[in-house]
A and B are shown apart, each in its own frame.
With several copies, the nearest count.
Chain A
Amino acid sequence: MTEASHYTASETLAILASRQLKDGQVVFAGVGTPLLAATLAQQLRCPGLTILFEGGVVGAFVEAGKLPPSTNDQRCTKRANMVLGSADVLLLLQRGYVDIGFMGGAQIDQFGNLNSSFIGDPAAPKTRLPGTGGGNDISSLTNMIVAMKHEKRRFVENVDFITSPGFIRGGDSRRDSGLPAGGMFRVITELAVFGFDERSRRMKVLALNPGVSREEVQDNTGFRLDFDENLTVTEPPTSHELQILRQLDPDRLFTA
């Protein structure tokens, strides 16, 4: 049974993220919440949404209960429209065929830059993280949606290391760095939905999740947040959204 009144933070994340997608878009999705959210959007509102995977998959077909655990294995290719080389699928981004890159994030800053390479000084790191994978390419070349957990240590003023560029140092610095296309579009957490100011390119709250206060968001964020002048409160997950989501991930691998 669908219990629309009880849902997890991960479920909220997936559902709110799925609402950001539009029918007809071509979406480069990472595994986990991004893929779950994209598939949810496809089933709910966007039958013409196309999902790409980094391993080289175009127009993936994701079956309920069988979400692939990585984007480089054969399960990702099943009943896809096309598979091609890993560099070639990234070149589709560079050419401009992709509307949205959709990833998770470990650490983000006020300008939407993501770090997945180093904690601490890169020259003598406290922790060597796995690195960019396709993240740098995707975030350099298209509009990004990031779905991630909201913790103060993950939302920092400036990341230790810009692995995947958002708006770099804000203003026109992204464009001036040689990235005239794309940029951070939305950040979705279990607390709020964030956009970026048109001029300063700093993160700002567009909508609070149901039951979340401004203070709660600010308290969990490592830098001063702006709030959009038209700040809204997000519609809670509907029972229909939850029902489809739970069909997609019946074992709660990604929504526990």
Chain B
Amino acid sequence: MLEAQLEPYTQLRADLAARDRSLREKVMSLEEAAGFVQDGMKVGIGGSTMSRTPMAMIWEIIRQRRQDLSCSRCIVSTDGDLLFGSGAANHIITSWFAQGILWGLSKVMRHHVETQGKRYEEWSHMGVGMRYRAGGMGVPFLPMRAMLGSDVMRQRPEAKPIDCPFTGEKLLLVPALNPDVALIHVQRCDAYGNAQIDGLQFMDIDLALAANRVILTTERIVSNDQIRRRPDHTKIPFFCVDAVVEVPYGAAPHECFGIYEPMMKHMDAYVKQVNADPVKGMQQYLEKYFYEPKSWNEYLALIGMNELLEASQLGRSIYND
């Protein structure tokens, strides 16, 4: 199991060496970018809970009927429902999995984990973070002081408790997580993939460095000139990025800091529908919102103008004071 998880350093290096890391334009469509995600891959998902979720990319991957994905995210929300419910993922690595704190347990997650044999692999929040960080640093593990003594640790033979060779203290070594591909949504980036992120960063920077491929969706593409005026605001460097897709409202119905808050009427209706019937409710939701629309804009139209405008007004309001 461990062998399957941890690639040897030389392999990680070879994968990276083979990547085109040159300063080049990589703007493409959702459809094209989704080509980086193949069945069975390890997919790292940026953002957290209902924030900066790369929903447009998840939407496209589900439309392309990907299967057997192993997905990881610091906190999983309705993205996890949709990945399990559509059959795209059979394994989710995270520290918390529900639709959002307002709605209690996810009946969709429960259905798939309790009765369908899908795996929800639980780590502590910091554990997930240290796994991405180790992956991004190019080391096979990082030491940490949580999870020790708990059953969360006991369920994770992938992590190794040790006695510190310096102090003799007990520590937990958590293995690096290097996803095959990361999906990250940002407020803005240039055509090369230099990304700025406003507000909460979650684990996105470590994730971008750790992944072997990064698909960036962005609310807008700005000029490289604009990026170069404040290089200390760049959070992800272009050579980590393999695809740039401009998708306004690309996190809908979740939020994107400073631009829109979650579309709560849609979310409420979604939760009601899928928790009432995790199979049929989900299938109907996917049909209507994922499979039938011809484009992302058609999906947004289904969420509705009122929701988008209200969410945008709230989103921008963070800068009103």
In the complex, A touching B (Cβ < 8 A): yes
Identify the A interface with B (CB < 8 A).
23-26, 31-32, 47-50, 54-59, 61, 69-70, 72-87, 90-92, 94-97, 99, 117, 122, 125-137, 140-141, 161-165, 168, 173-174, 177-181
CB distance from A135 to the nearest CB of B (A): 8
* Interface residues of B, Cβ cutoff 8 Å to A: 9-10, 12-13, 16-17, 20-24, 48-51, 74-75, 94-98, 100-102, 105-106, 109-110, 113-114, 120, 122, 124-127, 129-130, 132-133, 136-139, 144-152, 155, 161, 169-172, 192, 194, 199-203, 205-206, 209, 224, 227-229, 231-232, 234, 237-240, 255, 257-258, 261-262, 315, 318, 321
Specify which chain A residues have a CB less than 8 angstroms from the CB of B231 in the assembled complex.
57-58, 77, 79-83
List residues of chain A with CB within 8 A of the CB of B50: 70, 72-73
Cross-chain contact A86 with B203 (CB below 8 angstroms): yes
Q: Are A125 and B21 in contact (CB under 8 A)?
A: no
Instruction: Please report the C-alpha to C-alpha distance between residue A173 and residue B130 in the assembled complex, in whole angstroms.
Output: 25
Task: Give chain A nearest CB distance to B48 CB in angstroms.
Answer: 5
Contact for A87 among B161, B194, B203, B258, CB less than 8 A: B203
In the assembled complex, which residues on chain A have CB atoms less than 8 Å from the CB atom of B101?
31-32, 69-70
Are the CB atoms of B199 and A77 closer together than 8 Å?
yes
Is B145 a contact partner of A24 (Cβ separation < 8 A)? no
Q: A74-B255, A82-B227 are in contact. List 19 more A-B contacts (CB 8 A).
A: A26-B21, A47-B23, A59-B194, A70-B50, A73-B255, A82-B234, A86-B125, A87-B130, A99-B21, A128-B109, A130-B97, A132-B124, A132-B152, A136-B124, A140-B145, A140-B149, A162-B152, A164-B150, A168-B149
CB pairs A–B below 8 angstroms (6 shown) = A50-B239, A85-B202, A85-B203, A92-B237, A94-B139, A127-B105
In the complex, what's the smallest C-beta–C-beta distance from A216 to chain B, in angstroms?
28
Closest 10 A-B residue pairs measured CB to CB?
A: A87-B129, A178-B170, A177-B149, A24-B22, A48-B22, A82-B234, A133-B96, A95-B138, A178-B148, A94-B138
Q: Which of A47, A83, A180 contacts B169 (CB 8 A)?
A: A180
Min CB distance A124 to B, Å, is 8
Q: Given A90-B129, A129-B105, verify A74-B199 contact (CB < 8 Å).
A: yes
Contacts of B113 in A (CB 8 A): 125, 128
* A122 and B148 alpha carbons, distance in the complex (Å): 18
Pick the residue among B16, B150, B199, B229 that contacts A96 (CB under 8 A). Answer: B16
Chain B residues near A25 (CB, 8 Å)?
Answer: 22
Smallest Cβ distance from B178 to chain A, in angstroms? Answer: 9
Which A residues touch B144, using CB under 8 A? 94
Q: How far is the CB of B306 from chain A (nearest CB, A)?
A: 20
Q: How far is the CA of A99 from the CA of B13 in the complex (A)?
A: 10
Cβ contact within 8 Å between A72 and B49: yes
Question: With a CB–CB cut-off of 8 A, which chain A residues contact B98?
Answer: 130
Residues of A within 8 A of B315 (CB): 74
Neighbouring A residues of B238 by C-beta, 8 Å: 59, 81
Task: Choose one: B132, B138, B200; the contact of A57 (CB below 8 Å).
Answer: B200
B48 contacts A55, CB within 8 Å? yes
Q: Which residues of B contact A72 (CB under 8 A)?
A: 48-51, 75, 200, 202
B16: which A residues are within 8 A, CB to CB? 95-97
B39 to chain A, nearest CB (A): 25
Considering only CB atoms, which chain B residue lies closest to A173 in the complex?
B149
**A55 pairs with B125, CB closer than 8 A:** no
For residue B91, give the distance in angstroms from its CB to the closest CB of chain A.
Answer: 14
A74-B315, A83-B199 are known contacts. Are A132 and B262 too (CB-CB below 8 A)?
A: no
User: Which residue of A is nearest B129, CB measured?
Assistant: A87
Q: Given the complex, which residues of A lie within 8 Å of B12, measured CB to CB?
A: 95-96
Contact call A165/B49, Cβ cutoff below 8 A: no
Tell me which residues across on chain A come within 8 A of B94, comparing CB atoms. Answer: 131
Query: Could you say which residues of chain B place their CB within 8 Å of the CB of A95?
Result: 12, 16, 136-138, 209
CB-CB under 8 A from A23, the residues of chain B are 22
B12 to chain A, nearest CB (A): 6
Known contacts A26-B239, A179-B149, A130 near B13 by CB under 8 Å: no
Q: Is A162 a contact partner of B150 (Cβ separation < 8 A)?
A: yes
A141 touches which of B129, B146, B150 (Cβ 8 Å): B146
Complex partner residue of B145 from A32, A58, A179, CB under 8 angstroms: A179
